[in-house]
Amino acid sequence: MHNTAFLQDLAVVMMVAGLVTVSFHFLKLPVVLGYILAGVLIGPHPLPGLNFLPIPRITDQENIQTLSELGVVFLLFALGLEFNFRKIRQIGVTAFIVAPLETGLMFFAGYQIGQLFGWSTMDSVYLGGILMISSTTIIAKTLADQHKTKEKFADVIYGILIAEDIIAILLIASFSVTGRFEMGHVLATVAKLAVFMVTTVVLGLLAVPKFIEFVGKFRSDETLLITVLGLCFSLAMLAVKLEYSVALGSFVMGALIAEAPEIRRIERMITPLRSLFSAVFFVAIGLLIDPKVLGQYAGPVAVISVVLIAGKILACSFGSFVAGYGKDTSLRVGLGLAQIGEFSFIIAALGNNLGVTSHFLYPIAVSVSAITSLVTPFLIQHADQLIAMHDRLAPRSLLDYQRDYTDWIHRLRVSKMTSAPRRLIRKLLLQLGVNVALISGIFLGALLADRIAEHWLRALPEWAGGRRTVLWFAAVLCSLPVFIATLLKMRAFSMLLSELTVRERAGVLNPAAMRALVANTTLFTGIIGLALLLLLLSSALLPSWEIFLVLLGLAALLAVLLRTFFIRIYNHKINSCRKLCVNCIFILPKNIFSVENITNRIYYFNRGLYVWRNVLKGKDVCGRIRKNY
């Protein structure tokens, strides 16, 4: 009887999906929204006023869950087929600049919106995760319908989506065990996930493509299709047994099969299945929506939608611009990514299934996705008008800045920098990375202290923000020396980069102004990234906005008044580490007792320290470097 009920429910889903896809194609609306609306109509929560309609309804929650998981497996498997490991190198630096910036900003915005509405911590965390990832399905469908898949901005969008998919899979894996996002749990999960991913990917790359190639020699589409689906469900089941989600296993297997020579045949055979189970997945999303709950949270839906669209346009456009794309391409990228979709549904469904989020979060996520998905085609279609509006309203100085920076990035890509400046830049980046890691460690320590708080911390008065405010401010004070040093090194790095890349030559009308433009842009981008990282790390400890602004102003005042003292503390610790590094120099060469080898290493080490000290003082040593190299 249960099997008959499941087949009946599946038949109802497919009937309404067929009607919807014809109707929405005729109306030229996103079919995904039609699937969700169809799910609402046949779901256990009917729309008010439509109870009299003789519509067959699906009320069995177990069947709804089964349909949803089937859709997730095929949807993520198909996305994995479009993702192969070579694309990580092809998408370049742009995707890994834009994606962390955008996802970090949207996670923080979602968390703060949840806290602003008085929701629980887990509701706020899941809302942040829901707002992070744009919809590959909706974007691909919109670009295909408007015949813009071959344009330059579309390639940038696809690269960012790949990086977002990686972040989403890591986030889903972190949530999938207990549904919670505690720092200790996340670190343990990431460590286990790293072992699982490395083992699966390495062994999979060695075995899966060759096995698929062997099966493909039979020249049987049926054999190849069944083999591929067997591998997909096998790894999905293994992921579940290891307490991860089916989404992780199906996505990874799709990426592994994408390396096989028969990938074109496989994609051709999987496309109908993907269309079938994508429809099932999105209809199952609609089955979980309660319109009454949705009406109660119309305000939060409107606020979240506005913040999502504005935040994604701003973050993606800025990140693409910093990566070197012109303002027109960057704005088109931001307009194209201003929505959420399938990964957001999966994250929302995960929290709902694990029972760690409230009942209202899922319909809110679907509603925000519906609104932003309706807006996306219009944003992409009217991108030229929006860019023209930007050109009319933007100050002339901003337009000149955008043009000059884009020209500098283009010249930098075609020019060749010698190896010595590259090594110096790499050393500065390494030092910045070490400082950022130290700051992160301090805030992670504060989070750990919050979990094992002593009684005197718990007894702090609420008007002061409680123990979390004290821990956050203590982390800020402890990180001030490193933070000040990081800002100084960012400034030095931006000056060095501008000096090494902007030279006196034809095509550069005002080299001094161009150097200032490059230095300020680099410094501004670094400060934004660092501030966003600190906000993300301390989001669980942040006090109310009033106390936050007061304490932040106090910290800034201390940084200005005690700047020399903090720098002295930092330099003292760095000198201790430097002595250790000097002692380690003699371990690295093969000729460990070679006087010439040791002398050369000490010379270059001291020379690097000399250059670094002068750069920090603001002296122009870059001209000498260019003359010598």
Q: What is the 3-state secondary structure (H, E, C) of 155-195?
A: HHHHHHHHHHHHHHHHHHHHHCCCCCCCHHHHHHHHHHHHH
Q: What's residue 615's pLDDT?
A: 46
Closest alpha carbon to 539 in 446, 409, 404: 446
Which tokens go with 302? 């409107």
Which tokens go with 295? 């009406």
DSSP state of 46: P
The residue with tokens 């109306």 is 27
The CA distance from 565 to 480, in Å, is 11
62-393 belongs to which CATH class? mainly alpha
Assign 561 a pLDDT band (cuts: 50, 70, 90).
confident
Instruction: Assess whether pLDDT exceeds 50 at residue 20.
Output: yes
Residues 293, 363 contacting (CB under 8 angstroms): yes
The CA distance from 101 to 614, in Å, is 32
Assign 595 a pLDDT band (cuts: 50, 70, 90).
very low
Closest alpha carbon to 50 in 292, 302, 284, 288: 292
Helix orientation angle between 61-82 and 246-257, rounded to the nearest 10 degrees:
30
pTM, rounded to two decimals: 0.66
Side-chain-side CA neighbours of 96 within 13 Å: the count stands at 8
Side-chain-side CA neighbours of 109 within 13 Å: the count stands at 21
Which tokens go with 124? 């706020």
What residues contact 212, with CB distance under 8 A and at least 6 apart? 224, 227, 228, 257, 260, 261, 262, 266
The CA distance from 568 to 355, in Å, is 51
The residue with tokens 């209809």 is 283
Domain residue spans of the chain: 62-393, 412-628
Mean pLDDT of 312-335: 88
What percentage of the chain exceeds 90 in pLDDT? 6
Which tokens go with 208? 């899966």
Among 60-64, 67-71, 486-490, 594-598, name the one with the lowest average pLDDT: 594-598
The better pLDDT of the pair 59, 352 is held by: 352
3-state secondary structure of 510: coil
Among 175-189, 214-228, 326-340, name the one with the lowest average pLDDT: 175-189
Which tokens go with 536? 């993300």
The CA distance from 325 to 363, in Å, is 37
- 402-455 per-position pLDDT tens digit: 887 787 777 766 665 555 666 777 777 777 878 888 888 888 778 777 766 555
Gyration radius of the chain's alpha carbons:
27
Instruction: Assess whether pLDDT exceeds 90 at residue 308.
Output: yes
Residue 319, H or E segment = helix 298-322
Instruction: Assess whether pLDDT exceeds 60 at residue 83.
Output: yes
Instruction: Assess whether pLDDT exceeds 50 at residue 341.
Output: yes
Q: What's residue 224's pLDDT?
A: 92
The better pLDDT of the pair 536, 167 is held by: 167
Mean pLDDT of 445-474: 68
The better pLDDT of the pair 31, 59 is held by: 31
Among 122-131, 313-322, 335-344, 513-522, name the one with the lowest average pLDDT: 513-522
Angle at 388 between CA 384 and CA 393, to 5 degrees: 150
Residues 401, 476 contacting (CB under 8 angstroms): no
Assign 310 a pLDDT band (cuts: 50, 70, 90).
very high
- 228-271 per-position pLDDT tens digit: 999 999 998 888 887 777 777 888 888 889 889 888 899 889 88
Please provide the average confidence, as pLDDT, over all residues in the chain.
76
Assign 618 a pLDDT band (cuts: 50, 70, 90).
very low
The better pLDDT of the pair 437, 598 is held by: 437
The phi, psi pair for 411, rounded to 5°, reads -65, -35
Angle at 144 between CA 94 and CA 306, to 5 degrees: 65
Q: What's residue 616's pLDDT?
A: 45
Instruction: Assess whether pLDDT exceeds 50 at residue 612.
Output: no
Q: What's residue 326's pLDDT?
A: 84
What percentage of the chain exceeds 70 in pLDDT? 77
Q: What's residue 621's pLDDT?
A: 44
